[in-house]
Amino acid sequence: MANIKHIVVTATEEWPLTPLHINAKFKSIREWLTSVCQTEKPETTISEFCIRLSFRQSSHEYTLCLYGVNTSLDERHQTFTHIVFEPSCMFTRLPKQQYKSFTYEQMKGELASQLEDFTMTEIFLKSFLAKSNIRSINDGHLFWQKKQDVHTIKRDATLSLSITKH
């Protein structure tokens, strides 16, 4: 008879709270990301950068947030995702006039399009952002996947298989 082992995985994730007042107002998503790439540098390796879109209905404003996280798994199969990088212009409000007619779903599509375009720029490709995954918190969409060498891919595949077996 096979010995069946049940594993329960719990996850804890930190989320930054959007402040009421945001001073950083860039003219475009590209300008904001360019500023982050040119003025910031994390002191540690970041496994994933998260981008979150939020909408404040009372003022009809869209806000973007960018932060870096690392995730760890302890011996009790609990994952912890900690914010380890907060750029100085972590939040920006998008120009109200430019996006006032967008629904939330349209804005998510616009954000995805602009982020994917930005990942093709030289500024991005030479930046620290290109060394990590970039994911949307809103829908889990992976905008950028860091390049991995064969050794890393094999190790990740083995880890993935061993987790699914149990």
Q: Where in the sequence is the domain holding 87, given as residue range(s)?
A: 10-161
162 pLDDT higher than 80: no
Which amino acid appears at position 93 of this protein? R
145 pLDDT higher than 80: no
In residues, how long is the chain? 166
Give the range among 8-12, 28-32, 46-50, 65-69 with minimum mean pLDDT: 8-12
Angle at the Cα of 14 (from 9 to 17), degrees rounded to 5?
Answer: 150
Per the listing, tokens 């096979």 go with 2
d(CA 68, CA 87): 9
Domain membership of residue 3 (yes or no) is no
Domain membership of residue 4 (yes or no) is no
Q: Of 85, 98, 1, which is closest to residue 47 (Cα–Cα)?
A: 85
DSSP state, residue 75:
T
Number of structural domains in the chain: 1
What percentage of the chain reaches a pLDDT higher than 90?
19
Q: What is the pLDDT of residue 18?
A: 75
Domain membership of residue 166 (yes or no) is no
Domain membership of residue 5 (yes or no) is no
Name the pLDDT band for 30 (thresholds 50, 70, 90): very high
Domain membership of residue 2 (yes or no) is no
Q: What is the pLDDT of residue 150?
A: 35
Estimate to the nearest angstrom the gap between the alpha carbon of 91 and the chain centroid.
13
Tell me the pairing of strands 61-73 and 142-144: unpaired
The residue-averaged pLDDT of 138-162 equals 45
97-113 pLDDT, tens per residue?
A: 888 888 888 988 888 88
